A and B are shown apart, each in its own frame.
Chain A
């Protein structure tokens, strides 16, 4: 082998092999890269959703292949007081819980955005309710709301002596409804608080300093700077929160199973009750499908009413 000096050496040009050429060919690459994602989505999302929607228009029960019945399931549901009650409670539950979660979550986020000692530990603690599996926290709440062993009743009756009887948390309609909402708020606050905290931290401190020099009070700084600048992220977090709350299942099913007397059924728990426990797959699917319009409406509202702001758009019309 003869020695080659640096000046003489030239990088050899080789023709790429067919496999290299194939991977350089864009259509092939696009298909190869998309295939896993599309496959997973089709199998686990599109197929079950399509099947569910299809089932909603049949009278399938467990063990019997149903026939196409058109809108019969929905016509029946419209006249069903339990379904109508579930619709009412789903909307009520979502509405009150969202107000609670955002009120308290925003307040917590504002607190956490202040300088304070042990900030990161406190933030971690705040995330706890969200990290604990829902069913576990539901069981904890089930005990908290227990007619006999409730710790809240214990404190009011035995410790403070303010009441002579235990509190009836989940034995009657309205207390049960509100008890579940409280549990949902407790569980939902961390998500809201941490997301909004992330949003708050993107607001430049110099804006507050400028506002301070402009003569603002702390309420005015919140009203004119924090809140409008937080709105975009608020809209996104609220959309997610509404969807998660409206489709909630675990908390309600673990604590009350929709009782007493079906008063705390959400659409999701009712769909499960009728479809799986009751075996009426077609009817259960119809109840599940009946959630879709509400979810679409909530999403569109958040998206159009809150998300788009002119000031966020780019420097297009310079």
Chain B
């Protein structure tokens, strides 16, 4: 187990820079999720941690040791690949024992170590199978087993759940988290799925276009997104973001509809982006009259798409909404949970 330090790391492919100076500090035993849209550089950063890509500038350290020039096998890390990268011509046992076989470990040690990992993951009965004979979830477990066997200082996961169906993904998500709680090994996990990030992470690092937009615990990102990108990326359904101006102590959309400002805000008059999460809208007899366009009941909550003047926004309500498209409902945001962003810079006000 080890800390991981990433200091002002850059990555260039030819003249094209994909990472523009990224710094992250990962504490010993933390589960850190790198999340962002595709092409944001999160996988590249992970591969640089693993040593599969070289580092154009900056410094990466694992357990206090700078590993910029250390070959992958000496970095004491284990990685789970998106396509699992199981050796198709080897049995599950041989797949998991491969690193020990290369290191010349005796047979009984291999059996002991593989047995331990297989027991953790419930793979005992599958050891003689070939990868082709396994289901997606089983292959995923073998890939994790191969990582566990190596007793690494750091686990790296590269979108490990993206090849699984929705149900299995939820199941494996909790298995991975449980595994981390049991083994307490520092873990860096890459995903484009913000729900995976929210549910699994101790720390989330939101990346976009090769920079870090915000890093912090999941709920801190949810409660206080640092900018418009994080506000729109974290949370499902996504936050409503409405452009308008602050004038005379209220926020007005371009068609003049007033929305309440958070109490004690120091927003200067001028253009801002107004953010309110759908779940922070309330059915409020005093609220604004909005036209119901679409009602989506999911059982646990009801999502409603509204139109108010020129603005479309969605709300999510715990109570059953009986309104139908075309009806008017009075809704209002919880002013304390409103987010304001500078329209020009996108930064939180």
Contact = CB atoms under 8 A, between A and B. Distances in A.
Interface of A: 204, 206-207, 209-217, 220, 224-225, 228-229, 309-318
A125 to B, nearest CB: 27
Nearest to A214: B99
B229 interface: no
B85 A310 contact: no
B133 interface: yes
Interface stretch (B4-12, B71-79, B321-329, B336-344): B71-79
A35 B34 CA distance: 63
B81 interface: yes
Interface in B85-103: 85, 87-90, 98-99, 102-103
A206 B78 contact: no
B85 A206 contact: yes
Which of B51, B132, B135 gathers the greatest number of chain A CB atoms within 10 Å?
Answer: B132
A38 to B, nearest CB: 37
B259 interface: no
Please list the 7 inter-chain residue pairs (A to B) with the smallest Cβ-Cβ separation, ordered nearest first: A215-B73, A214-B99, A206-B85, A210-B85, A311-B130, A311-B89, A228-B89
A315 B133 contact: yes
Contacts of A206: 81-83, 85
B73 A214 contact: yes
A260 to B, nearest CB: 48
B72 A212 contact: yes
Nearest to A212: B72
Nearest to A220: B102
Interface string B95-119: 0001100110000000000000000
Interface residues of B, number: 27
Contacts of B50: 209, 213
A225 B87 contact: yes
Contact of A204 (B77, B79, B85, B102): B85
Given A214-B98, A318-B133, A318-B135, A209 B85 contact: yes
Contacts of A310: 130
20 contacts: A206-B82, A206-B83, A207-B85, A207-B87, A209-B50, A209-B79, A210-B85, A212-B73, A213-B51, A213-B52, A213-B72, A213-B79, A214-B73, A214-B150, A215-B102, A217-B102, A309-B89, A311-B88, A311-B131, A315-B133
A200 to B, nearest CB: 15
A203 to B, nearest CB: 9
Interface string B40-69: 000000000011100000000000000000
A216 B102 CA distance: 6
Report which residue of B87, B90, B99 has the largest number of chain A beta carbons within 10 angstroms of its beta carbon: B87
A209 B146 CA distance: 14
A224 B79 contact: no
Given A213-B52, A216-B73, 20 more contacts: A206-B81, A206-B83, A209-B79, A209-B85, A210-B146, A211-B98, A212-B73, A214-B146, A215-B99, A215-B102, A225-B87, A228-B89, A229-B88, A229-B89, A309-B89, A311-B130, A311-B132, A312-B132, A313-B132, A317-B133
A306 to B, nearest CB: 13
Contacts of A211: 87, 98
A314 B98 contact: no
Contacts of B82: 206
